[in-house]
Amino acid sequence: MKTAGAKVRSVAAEVVDAVVSGGQSLDAAIARNEPRIAAEDRSLLRMLCYGSLRYYWRLQSWLDQLISKPLRKRDRVVNALLVVGLYQIAEMRIPDHAVVSETVEAARQLRRPKLAGLVNACLRRFVRENLAANEPTDEPSEWNHPAWLIEQIRKDWPDDWQAILTANNKRAPMWLRANISRNSAEQYRQRLREADMEAELLAGIPDAVRLKEPQAVENLPGFAAGDASVQDAAAQIAARWLLADLKPNEVTYRVLDACAAPGGKSGHLLEVGGDNLSLLAVDSDESRIMSISENLQRIGRDATIIAADASTPEEWWDGILFDGILLDAPCSASGVIRRHPDIKVLRRATDLVRLAACQQSMLEALWPLLAPGGTLLYVTCSVLAAENDEVTGKFLTEHSDAVENDVLPNNNIRDLMRRKVCGYQILPGSAGLDGFYYAALQKKKVS
């Protein structure tokens, strides 16, 4: 008999398998599959998928104890189904008998009826022998990270690696950015309270509001009208840092957002800069360009938006220098694993060399576009030195006209920032923030 509970579990298994075996991003796999289930079951689908990938290494280590030999390649979706089932038993408040029953039925819905007995036996044995109480036997299953990433984080952060890994396995809070052109963060917090939503502010990040409990955006007061946006507080540092020297009522300040999609930082730049700001937003992903337009339209702001490769400005630059450049460079995203646990599955150690080369190439290409005295703010959502201070440090060594401006936009964020050889790092979980790296590179004025 088909049930809604079995359906959502079968779809969750297909999503997890699409990530683990198919290399798809979790968000893309969910977006592709969630229309197949009822709207009221979609929050459960997300919980199952995110949780199964967040604890994937430990779940798989348990599964290895339950199955004597790996499943055939064509049945790998059942491996994912078992991971989903083990996650429910170990981490969710669902009765064991319900998990077993619905997961066994899900195997049938996945057109694997011959493996339903295996699913039943594995889950019942897991409960009977209380395998969840066993100590992890290796570091990946202990920390729920791939071995290479554990070693890299331990190398880069010898005193903090355990705290970073622990933070990565927790759910991230929901941060909002109050639209400063319409209301302050405190005013927006009051509006939230009037809607029975508790929130708090964070000293040093003046537009940030942290919700006590996540909310659907359609329920947030004034969201559709652009009074607030969803954006982690660590990401909100970028706009105010780059525009720290902007003076009201002066000539137009010309800024390039070089990797702009989906448009969160572009929107914040325009909210802070107001009528003094002329913004060019560039992104190479044509499928995401529309998201920039939609985000800016919602907050009532406008920018020039083009689909182009930031590393080849000769194809799109008009020759007029920029006063400021925001380079939110493509990276491993190792600082936002809390929000995207699939990163742990999808990234490889070999990616770092390729990404660092891309980051260096973008810096080299964009530097000539910056006016003397201007600032290029280099940003990543990574905690790895290979993408952060090693990249900016190398750039400064090779460019005599570049110097780091190490003055923070305000002293209240000093305790959140770890000083690196070049730039500053926020570690994931610090004050509830994502992991971000910042380095302000200033072009020397011609004497």
- 197-230 confidence digits (pLDDT tens): 999 999 999 999 999 999 999 999 999 999 999 9
The residue with tokens 């299953």 is: 141
Q: Answer yes or no: is 160 within a domain.
A: no
* Helix (H), strand (E), coil (C) string for the chain: CCCHHHHHHHHHHHHHHHHHCCCCCHHHHHHHHHHHCCHHHHHHHHHHHHHHHHCHHHHHHHHHHHCCCCCCHHHHHHHHHHHHHHHHHHHCCCCHHHHHHHHHHHHHHCCCHHHHHHHHHHHHHHHHCCHHHCCCCCHHHHHCCCHHHHHHHHHHCCCCHHHHHHHHCCCCCCEEEECCCCCCHHHHHHHHHHCCCCEEECCCCCCEEEECCCCCHHHCCCCCCCCEEECCCCCCHHHHHHCCCCCCCCCCEEEEECCCCCCHHHHHHHHHHHHHEEEEEEECCHHHHHHHHHHHHHCCCCCEEEECCCCCHHHCCCCCCEEEEEEECCCCCCCCCCCCCHHHHHCCCCHHHHHHHHHHHHHHHHHHHEEEEEEEEEEECCCCHHHCHHHHHHHHHHCCCEEECCCCCCHHHHHHCEECCCCEEECCCHHHCCCEEEEEEEECCCC
Instruction: Write the CATH number for 278.
Output: 3.40.50.150
Same domain, 376 and 252: yes
Within 10 A of 246 (CB to CB), how many other CB atoms are there?
18
- Regarding whether 256 and 348 lie in a shared domain, the answer is yes
Asked if residue 2 has pLDDT above 60, the reply is no
Active site residue 122: no
> Is 16 inside a domain boundary?
yes
What does the alpha-carbon distance between residue 168 and residue 31 come to, in Å, rounded to a whole number?
23
One domain, residues 183 and 218:
yes
Question: 359-388, pLDDT tens digit by residue?
Answer: 999 999 999 999 999 999 999 999 999 999
Residues 243 and 382 in one domain: yes
Q: Mark whether 222 and 324 lie in a shared domain.
A: no
Domain final residue, candidates 140, 165, 183:
140
pLDDT category of residue 70 using cuts at 50, 70 and 90: confident
Do 365 and 341 sit in the same domain of this protein? yes
Burial tier of 271 (Cβ tally within 10 Å: 0-12, 13-18, 19+): buried
| Alpha-carbon gap, residue 308 to 290, rounded angstroms | 13
Q: What are phi and psi of 208, to 5 degrees?
A: -90, 140
Q: What is the CATH number of the domain that holds 127?
A: 1.10.940.10
Give the domain-ending residue among 164, 198, 230.
230
Establish if 167 belongs to a structural domain: no
Q: Which domain holds residue 332?
A: 237-443
Catalytic residue among 49, 122, 259, 381: 381
Give domain status of residue 152, yes or no: no
Residues 378 and 417 reside in one and the same domain: yes
- Are residue 21 and residue 109 in the same domain, yes or no? yes
Same-domain check for residues 217 and 246:
no
- The answer to whether position 45 is within a domain reads yes
Residue 75 confidence (pLDDT) above 70: yes
On average, the pLDDT of the chain sits at 95
Same-domain status, 364 and 414: yes
> Based on the domain organization, do 101 and 186 belong to the same domain?
no
Per-residue model confidence as pLDDT tens digits over 272-319: 999 889 999 999 998 889 999 999 999 999 999 999 999 999 999 999
* Mean pLDDT value across residues 74-99: 95
> Where a domain ends, among 204, 230, 256?
230
Report if residue 392 sits inside a domain. yes
Number of domains in the chain: 3
| Residue 274 belongs to a domain | yes
Cα–Cα distance measured from residue 273 to residue 34, given in angstroms and rounded to the nearest whole number? 39
Per-residue CA distances from 26 to 19, 284, 339, 349 (Å) = 6, 21, 10, 20
In this prediction, residues 332-357 reach a mean pLDDT of 97
Give the residue among 427, 338, 336, 430 at the shortest CA–CA distance from 54. Answer: 338
The answer to whether residues 312 and 192 belong to one domain is no
Residue 374, in any domain of the structure:
yes
Q: Six-digit token pair at 186? A: 């405190």
